[in-house]
């Protein structure tokens, strides 16, 4: 009997010891997984689809859902590239392509009309690792202007090309060229007609308005942009736009101007802006945010807040920016009623916004 009890004790000891070892192994494995997750390379992406007088009461449920769906589609394309180890430049291009191909945004397919009834598009892109940049302005036949901006950056010695010259370069790079009619959308054309009619009414009422477009503030929004941080620690930003409805004389805004509408620097952040371009140019908005971080030691959020909520409005401008810094912190700052926007972090957490909530 004593031998039997001794045998049971020995079996029980080894059984408990085995369970302890198993539990310990499981705990160690859990700790390893947590540590691996914490030490995994950081990355993130943030986008905008324009800022302006975007009010809930003026938006139908179906249109709001369409915007949210397209923003999600666009950002998930870029996020997947980053998650799979792709570069921030690749993510920025691919994400903006989705928005350029949608008639919802004032870029590519949905570009607004000029006073002459044409569509003239601008775009720029910047590499935060090298400070290389490319930009195009006033192109009318390039399906995806952001891709042409990239080609200018990597396949030419220049930073910016414009008009017919940029389109000749696009053909040499074997880019997709489309007939200008591709960019026609009925809603954008109706917007041009409404602005022209209102402009004429204003001119008839007061001839002193002949050199002032009284509807300039309500005809400039819809630009798209993207900023991204990849697993390699590199930042990039890009912006694409059709510019301002009813623009004249070959007007060019901030979107293709490096430092105004687009900027990226691995030391600080990557920024894309949307708003009243003339004031973004005067304030060198995108670079100003980076400079405040580099020279004054401000956080991304504080730098963006100061520029968008204080400095730009003091000049008379309005709009917003999206940005991501070298640590993956994100800012989506705007001083208008709303801004189409979305962000995703390395954990795949998605946030989409439209109004000023």
Name the token pair of 120: 């003239």
Per the CB < 8 A criterion, the answer to whether 51 and 334 are in contact is: yes
Q: How far is CA 309 from CA 74, 249, 292, 325, in A?
A: 27, 31, 14, 19
Per the CB < 8 A criterion, the answer to whether 279 and 253 are in contact is: no
Active-site amino acid positions: 223
- Give the predicted TM-score (pTM) of the model: 0.86
Phi and psi at 109, nearest 5°, equal -55, -35
CA neighbor of 91 nearest in space, from 109, 114, 75, 115: 75
Name the token pair of 188: 């954008």
Task: Name the CA radius of gyration of the chain, rounded.
Answer: 26
Cα separation, 354 vs 33, in Å, equals: 36
How many CB atoms are located within 10 Å of the residue 352 CB?
16
Per the CB < 8 A criterion, the answer to whether 47 and 95 are in contact is: yes
CATH class of the domain defined by 44-355: alpha beta
Q: What is the chain's pLDDT, residue by residue, as a tens digit (357 residues)?
A: 444 444 444 445 444 454 444 454 454 544 545 455 567 899 999 999 999 989 999 999 999 999 999 999 999 999 999 999 999 999 999 999 999 999 999 999 999 999 999 999 999 999 999 999 999 999 999 999 999 999 999 999 999 999 999 999 999 999 999 999 999 999 999 999 999 888 777 555 554 444 344 334 445 567 999 999 999 999 999 999 999 999 999 999 999 999 999 999 999 999 999 999 999 999 999 999 999 999 999 999 999 999 999 999 999 999 999 999 999 999 999 999 999 999 999 999 999 999 996
Task: Sort 104 into a burial class: Cβ within 10 Å, 0-12 / 13-18 / 19+.
Answer: buried
Q: E-strand spans in 112-164?
A: 121-127, 133-139, 160-162
Phi and psi at 252, nearest 5°, equal -125, 135
Residues in the chain: 357
Q: Where are the domains of the chain?
A: 1-39, 44-355
Per the CB < 8 A criterion, the answer to whether 272 and 225 are in contact is: yes
Per the CB < 8 A criterion, the answer to whether 99 and 49 are in contact is: yes
Give the sheet arrangement for strand 350-355, strand by strand.
Answer: 160-162, 133-139, 121-127, 235-241, 224-229, 44-52, 338-345, 350-355
Per the CB < 8 A criterion, the answer to whether 261 and 48 are in contact is: no
Cα separation, 93 vs 218, in Å, equals: 28
């Amino acid at each position: 009997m004593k031998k039997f009890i001794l045998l049971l004790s020995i079996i029980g000891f080894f059984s408990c010891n085995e369970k302890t070892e198993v539990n310990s192994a499981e705990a160690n494995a859990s700790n390893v997984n947590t540590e691996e997750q914490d030490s995994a390379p950081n990355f993130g992406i943030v986008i905008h689809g324009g800022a302006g007088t975007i009010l809930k009461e003026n938006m139908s449920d179906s249109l709001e859902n369409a915007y949210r769906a397209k923003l999600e589609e666009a950002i998930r394309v870029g996020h997947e590239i980053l998650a799979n180890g792709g570069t921030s430049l690749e993510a920025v291009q691919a994400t903006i392509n989705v928005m350029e191909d949608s008639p919802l945004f004032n870029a590519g397919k949905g570009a607004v009309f000029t006073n002459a009834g044409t569509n003239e598009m601008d775009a720029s892109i910047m590499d935060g690792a090298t400070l290389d940049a490319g930009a195009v302005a006033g192109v009318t036949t390039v399906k995806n202007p952001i891709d042409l901006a990239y080609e200018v950056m990597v396949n030419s010695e220049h930073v910016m090309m414009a008009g017919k010259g940029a389109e000749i370069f696009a053909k040499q790079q074997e880019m997709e060229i489309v007939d200008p009619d591709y960019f026609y959308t009925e809603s954008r054309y109706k917007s041009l007609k409404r602005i022209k009619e209102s402009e004429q009414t204003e001119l008839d009422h007061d001839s002193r308005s002949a050199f002032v477009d009284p509807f300039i503030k309500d005809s400039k929004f819809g630009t798209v942009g993207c900023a991204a941080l990849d697993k390699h620690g590199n930042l990039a930003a890009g912006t694409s736009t059709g510019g301002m409805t009813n623009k004249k004389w070959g007007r060019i805004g901030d979107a293709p101007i490096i430092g105004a509408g687009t900027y990226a620097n691995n030391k600080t952040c990557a920024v894309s802006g949307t708003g009243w371009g003339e004031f973004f140019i005067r304030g060198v908005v995108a670079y100003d945010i980076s400079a405040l971080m580099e020279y004054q030691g401000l956080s991304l959020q504080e730098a963006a807040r100061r520029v968008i909520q204080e400095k730009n409005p003091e000049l008379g401008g309005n709009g917003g920016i999206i940005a991501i810094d070298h640590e993956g912190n994100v800012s989506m700052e705007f001083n208008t009623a709303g801004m189409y926007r979305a962000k995703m972090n390395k954990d795949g957490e998605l946030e989409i916004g439209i109004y000023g909530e």
